[in-house]
A = this chain, B = another copy of it.
Amino acid sequence: MDSVRVHAPATVSNVVCGFDCLGFALSEPYDELTVSMIREPEIRIRHTDDFGLPTDPARNVAGVALRAMLDHAGEGSGFEVKITKNIKPGSGIGSSSASSCGAVVAANELLGGRYSKSELVGFAMAGEKLASGARHADNVAPSIFGGFTLVRSVDPIDIVSLEFPMLFATVLHPQIEIKTSEARAILPAQVPLASAVRQWSNLGSLVAALARGDLELLARSMEDLIVEPVRSSLIPKFGEVKGAALEAGALGGGISGSGPSMFFLSGSRETAEEVENGIRRVYETTGLDFLTHVSAISADGVSRVS
């Protein structure tokens, strides 16, 4: 086996009351990566898309993730990676994570599957550190495990793969730039204990709602008192979009990652498409470029296609 091809899905992190811990994987969009083993002890990156991302492996998230893996493995060989990105960089739906997770999952196959999913999360987090400055697993966990994941801890890595019912996501990606650093900077360092209690009550009940497939409870639990009130100001028409989504039947939703994308969950594809229509009507009035996606929540993370 000389080369492995994978699809690496987009992911939503910071799911409403689950800031910095709860995420899920979409079925689409996904990046396509082909990783080949090469004899030279180096990493080569090749892009077949037009995003102009770095090909220097030390400045590319997939390169950095593979370097962490190779350093750990102590292999004398190297990897060549061909990346076709379909997830726009900077969209807030785990574009960088898809690259680094796709790369390490494929490379792990080439190494005989010696690493566990949790270990792969660790390598992929090196890519996230390059992309955002923080060693976080909010997107890499769902990208590698699939489904809904809860990052209980990153040091040590402790990922909880959650039970969940069939759900669909509608994503709106306004084509504006929000720097992760800026989105971080506006967060309060301290929060009222009463708000924190309400947030963790909601997160606990959201996890219970997913486990039992109780969509009404899921809807009631999707409330964010801490992050959304400040970060929503960075996204034009946030309130109107959310209103239109709920009006169209969405269970709830909010900011994906640190934005600018927003996401909404629905119990059926039909509803998710109605939510898409409702959102589009709002965003067409803004004059901004935007994309929308409708996708099932995928039980699979990065998956091999050949």
Complex CA–CA separation, A187 to B158 (angstroms): 29
Per assembly, the copies of the chain total 2
Chain B residue with minimal CB distance to A17? B200
The stretch of A81-89, A170-178, A189-197 in contact with B is: A189-197
Annotate A160-173 by CB proximity to B: 1 below 8 A, 0 otherwise.
10110000000000
Q: Which A205-220 residues sit within 8 Å CB-CB of chain B?
A: 205-209, 211-212, 217, 220
Q: Are B188 and A193 in contact (CB under 8 A)?
A: yes
Compute how far the CA of A162 lies from the CA of B208 in the bound complex, rounded to whole angstroms: 7
Contact between A204 and B206, CB atoms less than 8 A apart: yes
Report how far A255 CA is from B223 CA in the complex, Å: 28
Q: Tell me how far the C-beta of A152 lies from the nearest C-beta in chain B, rounded to whole angstroms.
A: 4
Inside 8 A of A212's CB, which chain B residues have their CB?
A: 163, 211
Contact B21–A197 (Cβ < 8 Å): yes
Question: Given A196-B196, A220-B158, A226-B196, A22 and B191 touching (CB < 8 A)?
Answer: no
Contact status B192-A189, CB under 8 Å: yes
Interface residues of A in 131-181 (CB under 8 A from B): 150-153, 158, 160, 162-163
Give the Cβ gap from A97 to chain B, nearest Cβ, in Å: 18
Task: Return chain B residues, CB-CB under 8 Å to A201.
Answer: 20-21, 150-153
Indicate if the CB atoms of A193 and B226 lie closer than 8 Å. Answer: yes
A192 to B226, CA, bound (A): 12
A152 touches B193 (CB 8 A): no
B150 and A205: CB pair below 8 A?
yes
B residues within 8 A CB of A163? 208, 211-212
Interface status of A18 (Cβ within 8 A of chain B): yes
Of all chain B residues, the one with the shortest Cβ separation from A221 is: B152
A24 within 8 A of B: no
Q: In the assembly, what is the distance between CA of A199 and CA of B195, in Å?
A: 13
Q: Is the CB of A208 within 8 A of B206?
A: no
Residue positions of A touching B, CB distance < 8 A: 17-22, 150-153, 158, 160, 162-163, 187-193, 196-209, 211-212, 217, 220-221, 226
